[in-house]
């Protein structure tokens, strides 16, 4: 049974087209999606949009995922917004950094594996 919840909006923050395509292809039939390809754009999109969840890459142009998360968590309006980090970086320091910022870490070494 497929549950559709188009009232639930996910902001995907990713700069790699292939990864965006996989995430959108996986989620678009179930959720409302927004995509930002850099950290600055993601922060700006939150100012004018309702978002329920953020899927956030760490390595981004203009503002990295850690900076984006810190900015969001400092905002009264978005401090409780759940942020799931999507990254192939699985070092202990990366995990500590994500948790210290209030995010969750999902390690996906290669999102393209989801296509299979």
Q: How far is CA 66 from CA 10, 30, 86, 101, 112, in A?
A: 18, 28, 12, 8, 23
Interval 45-70 mean pLDDT: 93
Sketch the domain layout of the chain as residue ranges.
9-115
The average confidence (pLDDT) of the chain is 84
CATH code at 9-115:
3.40.50.2300
pLDDT surpassing 50 at residue 1: no
Whole-number pLDDT of residue 101: 72
């Amino acid at each position: 049974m497929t549950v559709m919840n188009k009232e639930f909006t996910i902001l995907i923050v990713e700069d790699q087209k292939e990864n965006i395509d996989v995430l959108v292809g996986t989620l678009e039939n179930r959720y409302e999606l927004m995509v930002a390809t850099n950290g600055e754009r993601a922060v700006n999109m939150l100012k004018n949009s309702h978002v329920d969840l953020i899927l956030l890459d760490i390595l981004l142009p203009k503002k990295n995922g850690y900076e984006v998360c810190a900015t969001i968590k400092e905002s009264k309006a978005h401090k409780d917004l759940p942020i799931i980090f999507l990254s192939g970086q699985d070092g202990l320091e990366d995990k500590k950094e994500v948790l210290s910022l209030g995010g969750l870490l999902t390690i996906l070494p290669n999102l393209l594996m989801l296509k299979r």
